[in-house]
Structure 1
């Protein structure tokens, strides 16, 4: 990486959804295929800073706060917004994001599998690529249906939407290149019959959030296939079920506690609800919430069932004051928004305040 020049290999594109891929997703980790294919995909993926492969440069609309600094995962890459400008820091399809210490962690899709990577974080900022800048692969060979990720104490928790479970990895920041099957424990929230979306038990647990002694897990419930609206599962700190609360919407995402109650994205209804009452309109499929006591960020994208179609329209992040007054919007051309984290003081992080 000398002289400020970088060389990189492309992240393998996400495999298309076909009849074969549905069978593959169902049986791959049962027979160790994830170890072989995941290692091959890992060898093809980059661990060095990329150039900026924009589908169109993100831009601001309205009067955004000058101090606003956040990171978002999109269908085209991880983008940092700070100092009033965007920076692409990792290309390819990503989903979950979280922060811990001096690293930003993310789930990146690599072909038929995915990996957990981390990037440097310094005083709430992502450094410019250069000497000492390093992307690290911590886990590989994961199925590509991992959604939100977060730390609960010292464990990194991954929401495995395909298998109705949470995957728990302790001290992952000290581990490089660990295969997914070496997890410390699996929290199987409902039966796993390996049929994924075809299962009558399918819940699509997609978001995890810890506040005080309660762990909130969103059950999306795949309304189109099951006819069930979404629920928020309340677990204790040992991941034992306490209660199930209706989310009041379909294919919901995200849980964050505001001073006035629980915020949830009712994705199909295109609203954000506060304690069960619709509060904001998202103007698209809502996914991604971040809140620091001053600013609320809400992500939305034009919904399409097929992934290829999700890159034809713009995604955006709306920015509100703490009292829900709209301040402005950041538009992401030809991208869908997956997750959002404020770089400092994000109350949506499971270890916030600990």
Structure 2
């Protein structure tokens, strides 16, 4: 074959390939239908980390589908009140919701299992249980009766134990304490003598300032720092044992989810998982700085005493037994967590705990600061 003939054949082949690619485009477009959903968030836009999870999911889906799969996110109150977001996805008012399962505690206590239960998991353990231990499947088996499909959509890490107008050293100090805390956590605290109060986030500060309530739990340093609680309730306790690994969730109307092509379902699950893990990373990078700022502006850090933690642990177990006796969905989910919870804390006290403890000692000794170990005679950081 001479050179001219080869070039002619090659040109024809290239043109045919190009034409084939052009003809294939409509078929590809058919495989990627245009989907437009609305998402009701339970959070205000001012909480950029939690509310931002909805925006992040929307952005990831839009980018991965060349704009074919769009979710428009609405802040709490724009379509429905924040606490009604999950219900709006159930009844089809919106196709999806970004919320926390325990907000639906009053409708069914089993909703809380997909979010967090006191004295269960840390964020890392909860992720392992969700993605590798059957947690997502167990939760979705329950959600099906509410016409929902759900996937983890964020985690704050272990939360703080809240803001108090006075020091709390013993269980006796908690008797009659009016505290902004609700749901299952409120039921546990009630057994310790606390009087739970359900108050919207924007009303917490004035309620503390006026003395309408004595204490309030919110989230953690980054979010708390925005609200200035230390000015009216200076004692900042830890840990928030009722939320060791609180999982924010994406809830999808099951009928709408089932209509999606399989590749969209797969992409949606992947983007939910990425958003879930990224939210925790955001809090982990923001909370250390925020905590230093809070202490610098007057917050007084206090650990809950072992007496209080032990009493609360016993109270939580009582609550779980009471609910399990009357709610099979809750019982099934809760009992599914227990074997792994036992194994996790057995393992965590070996390599993980030992390494972290050693590094914390180095931090206290000033050995992690820029420039190396603290100078001789210099007091270690506290």
TM range (shorter): under 0.3
Bigger share in helix? 2
Q: Of the two, which has the highest radius of gyration?
A: 2
Relative contact order, higher structure (CA 8 A, sep 6+): 2
Bigger share in strand? 1
